[in-house]
Each structure stands twice: as structure tokens, then as C-alpha cells.
């Protein structure tokens, strides 16, 4: 860059391995969430029963969607990751799926 200090690219070479691993896992979770949300939206858009429910536009549909998104998000945040990542990953998959259904 324009400054006399070393930049982020130069610092990346000297980062410890655990920092690189955390960055890698963060972006993998992000990519997985985006991919799962897209797949869920595609599945809902191709299922007539679910698409009819989501396209009603009633307050019940909107309320149920919001409640499901908030509830799934709270469930993901309430499960500890340290003991066993399995339940947290399942809750994360459910939350991403609900987000995809809401997007569709």
C-alpha cells in the first residue's frame, strides 16, 4: 500500500496456523450457509404446497416465518459448541433451511 507499515497480505504470511484455521473454518461456514440457503429456497420454490403456503401473504404466514427464523436462530446460539458440534451443526442446518424457505 501507500503506508510504511506492513499490510494485511504481508501479515498473513506470519499468522500462526490456528488463526489461518479459524479464518478458513469461518469462510467455510459462510459458504455452507449460503449454499444451503440457496438449496432450500430452490426446494421450496419447486414444491407447490410449500410455495402456496409461503405466497399467501397472510399475517399468519409472515408471523410463522418470523417465529421460525427467530426460534431457530435462538436455538443455534443456545447450543454450546465445545462439548459436541453435532447438535449445533444440525440446528445450524435447520436455521439455514428456514432462511432459504423465507427467501423463496
C-alpha cell at 5: 507499515
With cut-offs at 50, 70 and 90, classify the pLDDT of residue 1: low
The pLDDT tens digits for 70-94 are 999 999 999 998 878 899 999 999 9
Q: Indicate the domain borders of the chain.
A: 8-103
The pLDDT tens digits for 42-54 are 998 999 988 888 8
Q: Give the pTM.
A: 0.75
Hey, which bits of the chain come out as E strands? none
How far is the C-alpha of 13 from the C-alpha of 34, rounded, in Å? 28
Cβ neighbours of residue 1 under 8 Å, at least 6 residues apart?
A: 7
C-alpha cell at 81: 459448541
Amino acid at each position: 500500500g501507500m503506508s510504511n507499515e506492513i499490510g494485511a497480505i504481508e501479515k498473513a504470511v506470519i499468522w500462526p496456523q490456528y488463526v489461518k484455521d479459524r479464518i478458513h473454518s469461518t469462510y467455510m461456514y459462510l459458504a455452507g450457509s449460503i449454499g444451503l440457503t440457496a438449496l432450500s429456497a430452490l426446494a421450496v420454490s419447486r414444491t407447490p404446497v410449500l410455495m402456496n403456503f409461503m405466497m399467501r401473504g397472510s399475517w399468519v404466514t409472515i408471523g410463522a416465518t418470523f417465529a421460525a427464523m427467530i426460534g431457530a436462530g435462538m436455538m443455534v446460539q443456545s447450543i454450546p459448541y465445545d462439548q459436541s458440534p453435532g447438535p449445533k451443526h444440525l440446528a445450524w442446518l435447520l436455521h439455514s433451511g428456514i432462511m432459504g424457505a423465507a427467501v423463496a
